[in-house]
Structure 1
Amino acid sequence: MTRDEFNSFCGGMTATSHVVQWGNADVWKVGPKVFAICGWNDGKDAFTFKVGEIAFEVLGGEPGIRPAPYLASRGMTWLQVYKDGAMSDAMLREHIEESYRLVVAGMTKKMREGLGGSAGSTEGR
C-alpha cells in the first residue's frame, strides 16, 4: 500500500479527518481520536494502527511488524508495519478498519453520537 492509497482508504471512512503532524506523518482521526498513522521508517512508509490484545500478541513479533513506537510503550495495543511485504494490502486494510471500529467503540456515547448516524461504519468507502 502506498501513502496515497492509505490516505484515500482512510478518507473514505465515515466521520474521519486528516492532519499532518509528528514529523510529516499522515494522521487519521475519527472524531478527536487517532485510528491510523502513516509515517516514515528509514525513508519508507510505515503504517500504524490499533489492534486487540490477541492480534497485538500474535502479530507483534512477525517480521516487519512491531509494537508501535511511543504508543505501545505506553501500554497501548498499537502495531506498526514497517517493512514492505510484511502484510498484504488486503490485510492492512482489514486492520485499519478494525482500528477504526475499536477507536469508535472506546468512545463515550456522547462522542459517538457527535460523529453522526453511521459512525463506526467503514462502509462509506
Structure 2
Amino acid sequence: MDFEAAKDVCRTFPGCTEDIKWDHDIVFSVGGKMFAATNASSPAEGISFKAEDDRFLELTDRPGIIPAPYLARAKWVHVNGEASLDDAEAAALLRRSYELVFAKLTRKLQREINEAA
C-alpha cells in the first residue's frame, strides 16, 4: 500500500484528524491520541502505527516491518517499502490501530465521536 492509499484509509475512520507534529511528521489521531504517523518530507519511507501486543512480535519478524523508533515500547511498528503487505492487510492493520486507540478513549469521547459520524 502506498502512502496516499494509507492516508485515504485513515481518513475514513470516524473522528480521524490529520496534522503535522514535530515539524516533519504527518500524524493521524482519534480523540487527540495518535494511531498512525509518517514522515511528511519522505512518506515513501513508510508508516508507523500501533499493533496488538500479541501481534507485535509476529509483525516485526516479517521483512520490512521493524519496531517503530521511539514508540516500540508502546507496541508500535514501522512498515517500510520492503514489506510484503497487500492493500487489504495494510488497511486491516491501520483499522486495528485505530480501534486499539479508540478503545482507550473515555466512554464520553467515544460516544461523541460516534454521534458525530
Please state which band the TM-score falls in when normalised by the shorter chain: 0.7 to 0.9
Contact kept in structure 1, 2:19 and 2:27, CA below 8 Å? yes
Deviation at 1:44, TM superposition (A): 2.8
The answer to whether the aligner puts 1:32 opposite 2:55 as a matched pair is no
- Over the aligned positions, Cα root-mean-square deviation in angstroms equals 2.3
Contact kept in structure 1, 2:63 and 2:83, CA below 8 Å? no
Instruction: Give the corresponding residue for 2:97.
Output: 99
Identity of aligned residues (%): 29
Mapped partners of 1:50, 1:28: distance in 2: 11
Where in structure 2 are there 5+ consecutive unaligned residues?
none
Mapped partners of 1:23, 1:46: distance in 2: 17
Mapped partners of 1:29, 1:93: distance in 2: 16
Mapped partners of 2:94, 2:24: distance in 1: 20
Mapped partners of 1:68, 1:20: distance in 2: 18
The answer to whether the aligner puts 1:108 opposite 2:93 as a matched pair is no
Task: Please list, as runs of the form range in 1=range in 2, the aligned pairs for 1:6-85 lying within 5 A after superposition.
Answer: 6-39=6-39, 44-72=44-72, 75-85=73-83
The answer to whether the aligner puts 1:87 opposite 2:85 as a matched pair is yes
State TM-score, norm by structure 2: 0.85
Q: Secondary structure at the match of 2:48?
A: strand
Count of aligned pairs between the two proteins: 117
Contact kept in structure 2, 1:68 and 1:79, CA below 8 Å? yes
State TM-score, norm by structure 1: 0.80
Mapped partners of 1:85, 1:77: distance in 2: 18
Higher fraction of helix: 2
